[in-house]
Structure 1
Amino acid sequence: MCSMEMGIGVKNRINKKNLINIIYIAIFLVISLVPLFTFSGKQAAIGNETEADKPALSDGLKLTANIDSYFAQKFGFRNSLVYAQNVLKETIFKTSGQTDVIVGEDGWLFYGRALGDFLGTSVLDEVAIERMGAILSMMQEYVEREDGEFIFVSAPDKMSVYGEYMPYYYIEEDGQGNYELLYDRLTALGVNTVQLKNELAFAKLTGVLLYHKLDSHWNNYGAAVAYEAMAKKLSDVYGEAYSGYTHYSGLPYSIKNNFSGDLQSMLLPGSQVKDEQVEFDVEESFEYLNRFRGVDDLVITTKNNVAAVDKSAALFRDSFGNALYWFFANEYTSLTAKREIPYNIYQAVSEAELVAVELVERNLKNLLVYTPVIPSWNLADAYSVQGEAAVMDGVTVRTENEGITAGGTTAEGTAAGAADSVDSVDGIATAVVRLNTTADGLIELTGSSDVLKPYAYMYLKIVDEAAGATAVYQLIPGEEGNFTLYLEPENADISEAGLENFCYAFIVKNGNEYTEIPVSLTLQD
């Protein structure tokens, strides 16, 4: 009898234990499945996230990956769960739950993707910096050839201006980064630019915040400082027509807590905490010509009948232009602000008298990745044949082909860091090219050749032996050996007659020397 009662007691305890386990498992499953059953395609992307597209059967091999990305962004309570996790990490451990957000001192947040510039781990080599300088110099020269004006500025990363609020274990590189190297190069080339790091550092001494604490961008005051620096440079270079600009930083302003920071949204999605914004006590004197939805619009067009500067402007900008464009709109007779890459400089000169380009420090390399649309022009005034020698900018051009052999090494005299081998056949360099016509009617020639890797300044010489004519066009460099050439229709014989009817050579610049390298162009099918 006792043993039977003992057995029943043990059995009851086992059943109770199993019941507890079952309940625990059931609760776990319910919690795990709630996000699935509350799945919503309306969940907003967090901060700077790219909105995931809804998967479709037409995605092909990418379908599985797209389903994964879409579900990961849209599952139920996703933003609330991310919020809870990141609050715990920020509050208890003083760290960030988002790899792209750095939690700094005194509540400051920083954009993690700018860290390479801050630490000096993403500094480009000399050739890349020179190529970026060559591109911007070509931009300015083309705009001015078309009777326009030009200016380029790079918006400093937030941590470059407020590095003292970065976590102590991130040590700022005190040397020359991409920003400083490019500025020095542009100054040497005579490109119209402004060292905004210095301008902002000086303005910072007043005690006014120039960047948002919870956002990756400058605030309205920082944008005003940048605008005034650009306006002063334009006035210094192009004269009185640009001298009537307003000194906004000297005007009365108020500070309001009404700004939603992108970093705050990334770190704590759904957070209602607002950041400070500077609002100047000034009338808005312009009107929007297109349907204005917000400062992130890809294209913003404005008109101003009481403009301080009697000029039309085209502004190529990124998200730092969200605050900057307003000052141009409030000062210029008309503005077209475009958030697009590549920059279509050809189109811009037909729309405006001033072409301005703003690009954030962390994305300077995009100048090489997204080749701007700049038509080249025949350099007949710089290149000529005198006797048996060719002359470029008054310097005799050395012909180089004996140093290039099939599968061989780069020719003697090329810049340091050249590739170990070049594309060549029978001593002549080769390049595979593509020929297209753009929506603007330009002829676009794109290609690549290893022989161009060591150089920033590169030109294509086209010889029409039948007509006894020679043309030389500057190429727009990309990364590695990539290049692009844009030709206006009147210079586009190359597309009408066919590549095979001409002889070609690259002319490359190394220091103050020019070298001509015969090249065979092969049209890609």
Structure 2
Amino acid sequence: MKKKIFIIIFFCLLCLPSLGMLFFKTDVSVEQRQVQIFPSIKTGGKLNVKFFDQLNDYFSDNFAFRQNLIEADAIIKKNVFRQSGNEKVIVGSKGYLFFSETLDDYLGQNTLSKREIYSCGRVLSLLQENVEQNNRQFLFVIAPNKNSLYPEYMPKRYIKTSEQNNYSLLQAEMKKENINTVDLKKMFIDSGKEVYHKLDSHWNNQGAAMGCNAILNYLGKDHYDYTNERHTIKKNFSGDLYGMLFPKGNKKDTNVIYNKKKFVQSNFKQQKSYRYIN
């Protein structure tokens, strides 16, 4: 009798992820990826020969309690083994998370060839020439990767093979071609400020304000300098990397919140007017 009970419980557990799909819908939007929708038996009026493969992918993306299991796996790997449960996320120290697709550039490997870097510089030169011939300003800006600004928080197992990467190679080529550019990487490093979210792959508001200010200063455009604006630090930001690693987690990242929320400049009859929108 006990064996029958254990067998029934075992089969119930096996069926739980499938049956649970009727009651628990999986939200994969936080995972930042394309998911398989329920496949059609026919496509283009013909029998879909990939139906069962697509059905398998659909189940893999949508079975019940999937994200709970992913989160449990990620917590164990992060806290016990100091590893990531998602191949696209690198778990660093001091709470920093990094996007794995930037790893090659960080390590200085698989860089563009000399010919490819030259071609990039040449194309930018022609674009700049064309823009300036039309009495407009041209500026090309590269956003530096997060791990290039905070290498001290990257796992020690990642050892750089070269200090040269696509960023440094292209910066050097643009200098040869006299391309108008702003070196945001140097500016961010020299500032010593935290410009990236710890749990996200993007700049925080402070980084965005500094980047905007540097670009508009270079172009000689009138603007409001948010870098000197009073601000508060709030823990209210949902990081994309954290969501990929812990899809059911609710931990928030810090962000810089400026007192003036939005600044609008408008020109009317050649008279400049400024207004603040809170």
Which residue of structure 1 lines up, in the alignment, with residue 201 of structure 2?
216
Which residue of structure 1 lines up, in the alignment, with residue 61 of structure 2?
73
Task: Give, in angstroms, the shift of residue 148 of structure 1.
Answer: 2.3
Task: Give, in angstroms, the shift of residue 171 of structure 1.
Answer: 2.0
2:119 to 92, 114, 131: 131
Matched, 1:55 2:55: no
Between the aligned partners of 1:45 and 1:32, the Cα distance in structure 2 is 26
1:425-444 counterparts in 2 under 5 A? none
Residues 38, 120 of structure 1: alpha-carbon distance in 2 compared, 3 angstrom cutoff:
same
1:502-517 counterparts in 2 under 5 A? none
Would the aligned equivalents of 2:26 and 2:63 in 1 still touch at CA under 8 Å? no
- Residue 142 of structure 2: SS of its match in structure 1? strand
Which residue of structure 2 lines up, in the alignment, with residue 284 of structure 1?
262
Between the aligned partners of 1:210 and 1:69, the Cα distance in structure 2 is 38
Would the aligned equivalents of 1:140 and 1:150 in 2 still touch at CA under 8 Å? yes
Residues 173, 232 of structure 1: alpha-carbon distance in 2 compared, 3 angstrom cutoff:
farther
Which residue of structure 1 lines up, in the alignment, with residue 7 of structure 2?
25
Would the aligned equivalents of 1:118 and 1:173 in 2 still touch at CA under 8 Å? no
Which residue of structure 2 lines up, in the alignment, with residue 101 of structure 1?
89
Between the aligned partners of 1:125 and 1:58, the Cα distance in structure 2 is 42
Task: Give, in angstroms, the shift of residue 96 of structure 1.
Answer: 0.9
Tell me how many residue pairs correspond in the alignment.
266
Would the aligned equivalents of 2:197 and 2:203 in 1 still touch at CA under 8 Å? yes
Would the aligned equivalents of 2:140 and 2:181 in 1 still touch at CA under 8 Å? yes
Residue identity opposite 1:25 in structure 2? I
Task: Give, in angstroms, the shift of residue 126 of structure 1.
Answer: 0.4
Question: Deviations along 1:358-402, whole A, 9 cap, x unmatched?
Answer: xxxxxxxxxxxxxxxxxxxxxxxxxxxxxxxxxxxxxxxxxxxxx
Would the aligned equivalents of 1:43 and 1:73 in 2 still touch at CA under 8 Å? no
1:184 to 162, 168, 172: 172
Would the aligned equivalents of 1:118 and 1:172 in 2 still touch at CA under 8 Å? yes
Would the aligned equivalents of 2:25 and 2:64 in 1 still touch at CA under 8 Å? no
Between the aligned partners of 1:140 and 1:24, the Cα distance in structure 2 is 73
Between the aligned partners of 1:69 and 1:149, the Cα distance in structure 2 is 49
Between the aligned partners of 1:139 and 1:285, the Cα distance in structure 2 is 31
Matched, 1:264 2:242: yes
Residue identity opposite 2:29 in structure 1? A
Would the aligned equivalents of 1:120 and 1:177 in 2 still touch at CA under 8 Å? yes
Residue identity opposite 1:215 in structure 2? D
Would the aligned equivalents of 2:200 and 2:242 in 1 still touch at CA under 8 Å? yes
Residue identity opposite 1:88 in structure 2? I
Would the aligned equivalents of 1:255 and 1:278 in 2 still touch at CA under 8 Å? yes
Question: Deviations along 1:495-521, whole A, 9 cap, x unmatched?
Answer: xxxxxxxxxxxxxxxxxxxxxxxxxxx
- Residue 94 of structure 1: SS of its match in structure 2? coil
- Residue 99 of structure 1: SS of its match in structure 2? coil
Task: Give, in angstroms, the shift of residue 153 of structure 1.
Answer: 1.1
Matched, 1:226 2:204: no
CA RMSD of aligned residues (A): 2.5
Normalising by structure 2, what TM-score? Answer: 0.87
Relative contact order (C-alpha < 8 Å, sep 6+): which is higher?
2
Which residue of structure 1 lines up, in the alignment, with residue 148 of structure 2?
160
Would the aligned equivalents of 1:203 and 1:225 in 2 still touch at CA under 8 Å? no
1:175 to 145, 163, 174: 163
Residues 151, 54 of structure 1: alpha-carbon distance in 2 compared, 3 angstrom cutoff:
farther
Q: Which structure: greater helix fraction?
A: 2
Q: What is the aligned-residue identity percentage?
A: 35
Would the aligned equivalents of 2:99 and 2:201 in 1 still touch at CA under 8 Å? yes
Computing the radius of gyration from Cα coordinates, the structure with the larger value is 1
Residues 55, 177 of structure 1: alpha-carbon distance in 2 compared, 3 angstrom cutoff:
same
